[in-house]
Structure 1
Amino acid sequence: MKKNKNILPPKAFAKRVSKYAFYSIILLIISLGIGVFGYHFVGALGWIDSLYNASMILTGMGPVNEMKTEAAKLFASFYALFSGVVFLSTVAIFFAPFAHRLMHLLRIDDIED
């Protein structure tokens, strides 16, 4: 590896952060959409209640409405597991540019074995 690698200038870094934030937001919107449609069609909730339930599960707050059918309970279970993975993935995607920049600032890539 080259030892004279420079870190990105602030403007390019801001552009990279914006790109990764955009990816994170898209992942959250798609995941929220899956939850809203699932709660609406499988859980037989109204659109607002579906959005509320999906948002609460996706952010880790927990379920709001009781699921009455077995299919709805199964959907809610799988969506909760899915949401946990999405939440952690979103955090990782969003903070990746910051971690990368920190590694460059600390010159972690210069350490030889």
Structure 2
Amino acid sequence: MKRLRLEHRTSLLLPRRDFLVRLGWYWLFGCLFLAFSLGIGTVGYHITAHLNWVDAFLNASMILTGMGPVDKLESAGAKLFASFYAIFSGVSFLTFCGVLFTPIYHRFIHRFHLDLGDKNL
């Protein structure tokens, strides 16, 4: 996708309006990724732990945000799912944060390179 592509360090700084559009696309992608991760957890808890949809959503939300599970899991399958989902959630949350802050970090570094001028090119 062209809107997600970052400019090269020799390019001019993106205008503020275009930067905000890019930021919106990155936020949308990050939120979709987070919703997908939450969906995996909700369905997994519903199937493996036999929780109703609301409780499964609650458990998935709590694990995804790092708070820990709410309901006690009885079956080995549910415990295994919860373990793997917790590992996946840790990576997902870091990925989500990385995606959200990539355009901001890139703009800061790009502006820093432009301030240096042609000295290091």
Tell me which of 9, 18, 24 is aligned to 2:15.
9
Post-superposition, which runs of at least 4 consecutive aligned residues in structure 1 deviate over 3 A?
A: 108-113
Distance 2:69 2:9 in 1: 51
The alignment's TM-score, normalised by the length of structure 2, stands at 0.85
Superposition CA RMSD, Å: 2.0
Listed as ranges, the matches of 1:19-98 within 5 Å are: 19-98=25-104
Secondary structure, counterpart of 1:94 in structure 2: helix
Unaligned runs of 5+ in 1: none
Q: Cα deviations across residues 78-112 of structure 1 (Å, max 9, x unaligned)? A: 00000000000010011000010000111179673
Distance 2:119 2:42 in 1: 47
Q: CA deviation at 1:15?
A: 0.5
The alignment's TM-score, normalised by the length of structure 1, stands at 0.91
Distance 1:75 1:2 in 2: 44
- Cα pair 2:9 2:113 within 8 Å, conserved: no
Aligned length: 112
Unaligned runs of 5+ in 2: 1-7
Q: CA deviation at 1:62?
A: 0.9
1:112 counterpart residue number: 120
